């Protein structure tokens, strides 16, 4: 169950309108790696966690914080849209050389659809998708992903920071950069805690019995590109990170371990191109129907 407080977690006001930047901010609000994604991803992982206690609560607590970041970004976007030009004609009249660039780079849906407000879509207007959420039920896999989500997020905010001179916007982004910094660390620490608690390890999922793998293929880095530079990294000869004591090795020219790709003939009621009617077309025998 959730409660809302009308104060913002952090706030900063822009010096003036900038509809172009308002649109760019949509990326970190409703894009694949934006605040909507981390909020929903952490909450779903928390709700689905079957292990109660510190991990589940950390997910729910952090997802709840991220909802407050969604709120902050919506607020900034709405402020940046205040006083945005309504038409080409208005843009031309003000005779400000930057306005043509701003008008062209603004998001028409911000005005037509949302009445100068934010929405859960990215900087190209593609709606936020539930497919952006991953909640696998395996906390180590998910914590590692959460750490990378914060990396992608901080990277995008850092780029936005270079795209404006407005001190109010920059102040807000400085806060988000710090929280992405913290959350990167938090998920790295949580992944380590999972290992320290003996709950999982590498390769994820550690519980799958390794003897069930075709283990001969588990330590061979294969070079499917030409040249030799693939052999120059620690992945091509260093100790295997899975703690098995084995070394990774390089396969310079991978071989095919299967034969030619062929298929059985197919059911004629599907009206596919019938096999067997041209010379040399030896398909597989049909598998026995059950």
Could you say which residues in the range 70-109 bind a second copy, by CB under 8 A?
70-72, 74-75, 78-79, 82-84, 86-89, 91-92, 94-109
Contact between 268 and a second copy (CB under 8 A)?
A: yes
Contact between 201 and a second copy (CB under 8 A)?
A: no
Indicate which single residue of 111, 169, 201, 245 sits in contact with a second copy (rule: CB under 8 A).
111
Let me know: does 175 contact 71? Beta carbons within 8 Å.
no
To the nearest whole angstrom, how small is the minimum distance from the Cβ of residue 38 to a second copy?
A: 13
Q: Which residues contact 10 (CB under 8 A, 6 or more apart)?
A: 72, 172, 175
CA quadruple 58, 60, 62, 68: dihedral, nearest 10: -160
To the nearest whole angstrom, how small is the minimum distance from the Cβ of residue 34 to a second copy?
A: 10
Task: Count Cα atoms within 13 angstroms, Cβ side, for 175.
Answer: 15
Indicate which single residue of 22, 30, 35, 38 sits in contact with a second copy (rule: CB under 8 A).
30
Contact between 113 and a second copy (CB under 8 A)?
A: yes
Residues 224-263 that bind a second copy (CB under 8 A): 224-227, 229-230, 232-235, 238, 240-242, 248, 254, 256-263
What are the DSSP calls for 176-221, one per residue? HHHHHHHHHHHHHHHHHHHHHTTS--SSSSTTS-GGGS-GGGSSEE
Indicate which single residue of 22, 31, 35, 169 sits in contact with a second copy (rule: CB under 8 A).
31
Residue carrying the six token digits 């940046």: 80
> Which 8-state DSSP code applies to residue 113?
T
Q: Which residue, 132, 182, 174, 144, is CA-closest to 157?
A: 174
To the nearest whole angstrom, how small is the minimum distance from the Cβ of residue 22 to a second copy?
A: 11
Residues 127-186 that bind a second copy (CB under 8 A): 127-141, 144-145, 147-148, 151-152, 154-156, 158-165, 171, 174-175, 177-182, 184-186
């Amino acid at each position: 169950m959730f409660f809302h407080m009308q104060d913002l977690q952090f706030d900063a006001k822009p010096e003036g309108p900038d509809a172009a930047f308002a649109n760019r901010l949509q990326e970190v609000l409703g894009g694949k790696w934006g605040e909507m994604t981390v909020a929903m991803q952490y909450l779903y992982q928390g709700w689905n966690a079957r292990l109660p206690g510190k991990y589940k609560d950390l997910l729910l607590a952090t997802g709840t914080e991220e909802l407050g970041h969604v709120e902050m970004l919506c607020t900034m976007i709405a402020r940046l849209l205040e006083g945005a030009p309504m038409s080409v004609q208005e843009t031309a009249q003000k005779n400000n050389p930057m306005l043509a660039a701003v008008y062209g780079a603004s998001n028409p849906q911000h005005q037509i659809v949302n009445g100068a407000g934010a929405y859960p879509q990215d900087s190209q207007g593609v709606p936020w998708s539930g497919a952006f959420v991953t909640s696998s039920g395996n906390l180590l896999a998910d914590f590692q992903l959460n750490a990378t989500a914060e990396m992608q997020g901080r990277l995008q905010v850092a780029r936005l920071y270079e795209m404006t001179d407005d001190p109010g916007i920059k102040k807000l982004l400085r806060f988000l950069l710090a929280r992405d910094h913290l959350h990167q660390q938090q998920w790295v620490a949580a992944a380590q805690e999972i290992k320290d608690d003996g709950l999982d390890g590498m390769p994820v999922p550690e519980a799958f019995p390794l003897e069930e793998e075709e283990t001969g293929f588990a330590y061979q880095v294969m070079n499917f590109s030409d040249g030799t530079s693939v052999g120059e990294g620690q992945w091509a000869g260093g100790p295997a990170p899975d703690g098995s004591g084995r070394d990774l090795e390089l396969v310079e020219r991978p071989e095919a371990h299967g034969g030619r790709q062929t298929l059985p003939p197919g059911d004629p009621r599907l009206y596919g191109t019938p096999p067997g009617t041209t010379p040399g077309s030896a398909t597989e025998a049909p598998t026995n129907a059950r």
